[in-house]
Structure 1
Amino acid sequence: MIAVKKIISSLVPGLQKQFENEVYHLMVLNHPNIVRFVGYCYEIQNACIEYNGKYVFAEMAERLLCLEYLPNGSLDKYLTDESSGLDWSTRYNIIEGICHGLYHLHEKLDKPIIHLDLKPANILLDDGMVPKLTDFGLSRLLDQQQTICTLSHDGTLGYMPPELFHGGTITPKSDIFSLGVIIVEVVTGDKPDITGKSSDEIIELTLKKWRNVLERSTGHGSLEMDCEQIKRCIQVGLICVNHDRKRRPSIMKVINMLQGSESIDCDIRNEET
């Protein structure tokens, strides 16, 4: 069984480029946390259609992407307690899987790929709740300078880094901002609202909520270990959403901090000065 993504309109500006981008990138990607590419269909036909009261022949493009079928759909349907009630272990494994997929894009290819549209709707889940990154239509290959300048504001508000609105320079740290938003969202079960709150307040509120959940469901056996892991995830998420991209960590540092093999920077505050 496969999933078919159909590009339904030829009138959207840049659609052909996005389709080509997705095919090119998916063909070279092979990782357990990235959706598997099966194939594509691209065909142009001349169709007789009515235009301004007359019938004319026009080129109609059919664009199809064939991808592995992931039965649990996208992550955005599983975040809130009301919709899924995912336990902490599942949520942590999802965070780790997303990070490993992003690490493959940034560090393991001859030319690193910046995803540029990381969000829960573009993270699919298999039958074991393993996350897989998808939708590479906006992705860019990095040049040797590791930076790209763009005037495009394509992407999703709330997950786009601020530098795309001010000068348009994108680097791997652009994806790190989006990752930080996702980490906070997966941990808290809600769209992050960090305005007007200190990092200490966010951590305290999140820990209080999870402590109550864990005490009811798992007893006290691994309570403190889980709470420490939750605290670490929130701290890393807040570091990633720093408005100054130079202060965001690399994806390798993110993974090390999440796993506890590297100390978390002392200053995790992200309040604007």
Structure 2
Amino acid sequence: MIAVKKTVSSLLPGPHKQFESEVYHLMMLKHPNIVRCVGYCYETRNECLEYNGSYVFAEKAERLLCLEYLSNGSLDKYLSDESSGLDWSTCYNIIKEICHGLSHLHEQIDKPIIHLDLKPANILLDDTLVPKITDFGMSRLFSQQQTICTSPCVGTFGYMAPEFLHGGIITPKLDIFNLGVIIMEIITGHRDYPSISGTTSDDFIEHALEKWRNVLKRSPRYESLEADCHQIKRCIQVGLICVNPDRTKRPPIAKIINMILGSENIDCNINEEAA
């Protein structure tokens, strides 16, 4: 079983460039938390079409991308409430594995890749609910000495960082902002966070923890309540750090992983101001 992604034909250059970008990047990416490319089909043919009252020959492209099939679909289908329909252990593992996939993109290949559209709909789950990042049509290669400025014409509202939304600035910190929103969404079931919900960070964290305590108390693993709540609080704090409107205050992915695992103190400031 494989999944086939078809790019709709268009006379505009967008689909052509997005398809090539996705193929190029998937070919160089080999990681358990990134969807595997099985193959592709890229065929063009000439067709005689009517145009402005005359018949002309035009090129028509067929672009198919063959990917590994992941039976549980995308993560967004599981984000319904504070428990996301999943137990905390599964949520925690999903957060960690998404971070490992992003670490591979940012830090473990010769030329880092910025995904540009990281969101639950672009994270697929396999049979054991291991997450795999997909949809690299918007992604960009990035040099560490480079800051890209472009028109903010791609991305998904609610996940786009303010510097990209308002100025078209592209750095790896854009993906970090996306990651922070995803962490919030996995834990709370929605994309709200203090900067847009009007609450303080402390109130936001306590409200999310109280909901999870109620969920955990009903589970058979009640004996791990305090340990789980400590993990939940740490993940929320990391998520809030990631959505700081000042991109210079968002940590790199390696530091994020260490903070989530508890091997590094959470020493970054959580921004209380509205984005």
TM over 0.5: yes
Structure 2 residues without counterparts, runs of 5 or longer: none
Count, aligned residues: 273
The separation in 2 between residues aligned to 1:124 and 1:218, in whole angstroms, is 28
Q: Which amino acid aligns with 1:224?
A: E
- 1:143 corresponds in structure 2 to 143
Between the aligned partners of 2:29 and 2:272, the Cα distance in structure 1 is: 34
Whether contact under 8 Å (2:84, 2:189) holds in the other structure is no
Is contact 1:77–1:83 with CA below 8 Å preserved after alignment? no
**Structure-2 separation of matches of 1:71 and 1:236:** 30
Moved more, 176-185 or 193-202: 193-202
Evaluate the alpha carbon distance shift between residue 84 and residue 160 of structure 1 in structure 2; reply closer, same or farther with a 3 A threshold. Answer: closer
Q: 1:240 aligns with which of 232, 242, 260?
A: 242
Aligned to 2:173: 173
In 2, Cα distance between equivalents of 1:170 and 1:180: 17
Correspondence 1:151-166 to 2 at 5 A:
151-166=151-166
Q: What letter matches 2:189 in structure 1?
A: G
- 2:274 corresponds in structure 1 to 272
Once the two structures are superposed, the pairs formed by residues 1-273 of structure 1 within 5 Å of their partners are 1-81=1-81, 85-194=85-194, 195=196, 196-265=198-267, 267-272=269-274
User: Residues 149-172 of structure 1: CA distance to partner in whole angstroms, max 9, x if unpaired?
Assistant: 212331101101110133322111
- Aligned residue for 1:66, secondary structure, equals strand
Contact 2:82 2:212 in 1 (8 A): no
Output the CA distance in 2 between the equivalents of 1:221 and 1:69.
37
CA distance in 2, matches of 1:266, 1:161: 18
Structure 1 residue 256: deviation in Å?
A: 0.4
Q: Provide the secondary structure at the position in 1 that maps to 2:167.
A: coil
Q: 1:9 deviation in Å?
A: 2.3
Q: Deviations over 1:115-163 (max 9, x none)?
A: 0000000000001100000011111111241422212331101101110
Distance, in Å, in 1 between the alignment partners of 2:152 and 2:14 is 11
Instruction: Sort the Cα spacing of 1:103 and 1:83 in 2 relative to 1 into closer, same or farther, 3 A.
Output: closer
CA positional deviation for 1:193? 4.2
1:180–1:239: 8 Å Cα contact kept in structure 2?
Answer: yes
Following the alignment from structure 1 to structure 2, what is the Cα–Cα distance between the partners of residues 114 and 84?
A: 27
Residues 198, 269 of structure 1: 8 Å contact kept? no
C-alpha distance in structure 1 between counterparts of 2:72 and 2:165, whole Å: 34
Q: What is the letter of the counterpart of residue 184 of structure 2?
A: V
Larger deviation: 157-166 or 246-255? Answer: 157-166
Long gaps (5+) in structure 1? none
- Give CA-to-partner distance per residue, 1:192-243, whole Å, 9 cap, x none: 2432111111101100000000001135310000000000010000000000
Could you tell me whether the CA contact under 8 Å between 2:150 and 2:168 is conserved in 1?
yes
C-alpha displacement of 1:60? 0.4
* Matches of 2:120 and 2:162, distance apart in 1: 19
1:203–1:234 Cα contact (<8 Å) kept: yes
Alpha-carbon shift at residue 190 of structure 1 (Å)? 1.9
CA RMSD, 1 decimal: 1.7
- The residue type paired with residue 43 of structure 2 is E
Cα distance between partner residues in 2 of 1:187 and 1:218: 20
Is the 8 Å Cα contact of residues 37 and 68 (structure 1) preserved in structure 2? yes
Identity over the aligned pairs, expressed in percent?
72
What is the CA–CA distance in structure 2 between the aligned matches of 1:39 and 1:178, rounded to whole Å? 28
